[in-house]
Structure 1
């Protein structure tokens, strides 16, 4: 019999392996773009049922598209606008089960149904955000959020 708690434990173990892979990829590299590119590629390979994963980098009072995997995306997002801009402005993760219910959602890809955005905080400032979209509603749960926040913390140490 399959139990939810067993699944959560396995999911966390899988994320821990991905975080170790991230550390191996970035530990000796100082270039921010290279590290963000490898991080997006790693998550794209690891996560199922996603259609976009990447980074937006802070430039003044807006986010500018950085390394990503997926279809072409919006290039500039003002702080406070959409899921990414809201996460950056509030310095907190936004986990959105249905993007069509999020006020001011910016639809870069009409296939996206759910989204998670984790701010990257470096030296107390918002360096940027990790943005992941899924064509499945309610794709991201509390385990995804916890583990992706840990992934971003490790990444931030090498940016």
Structure 2
């Protein structure tokens, strides 16, 4: 299904299909520009938060942490995160379970962006779900590099 999902990469329809596949209510795709992440497409994010997620530095918030650490970042309950990854504004999304993965270049050396999904209920993403989202991120990278 990943090829089908990425055929309209960057469109609202593409993101809707991805969210439906993971039974999620929110999603973002950011593309890296140096040490910054620029929003490509978002769904389910409240309008008042859009200015905060349009351009994110590496290391800030869930997407920025995924880009900086080069690892998936998961929060079972964003509303109760005590580890400092989630910023106060992120709680306004009403998302609880969230997952962001880096989008790597085909050689795996460069972070091209991040892909994030979220549920409105507390949720632990399974290893299989993390792998599936990472596979979609690989398809995103292939589309961007084409």
Query: What residue in structure 2 maps to residue 105 of structure 1?
Result: 86
- 1:84 is aligned to 63
Rounded to whole Å, the distance in 1 between the matches of 2:124 and 2:85 is 20
For 1:147, the equivalent position in structure 2 comes to: 132
Listed as ranges, the gaps of 5+ residues in structure 1 are: 1-17, 26-33
Aligned-pair Cα RMSD in Å? 2.0
Q: Give the TM-score taking structure 2 as reference length.
A: 0.78
Counterpart selection for 1:119 from 99, 102, 111 = 102
The number of residues matched between the two structures is 132
Gapped regions of structure 2 (runs ≥ 5): none
Q: Which structure has the larger Rg?
A: 1
- Residues 121 and 127 of structure 1 are in contact (CA less than 8 Å); yes or no, is this contact kept in structure 2? yes
Contact 1:95–1:145 (CA under 8 A) maintained in structure 2 = no
Distance in 2, Cα, partners of 1:146 & 1:157: 17
- Contact kept? 1:84, 1:129, Cα under 8 Å: yes
Q: Is the 8 A contact 1:41 1:68 kept in 2?
A: no
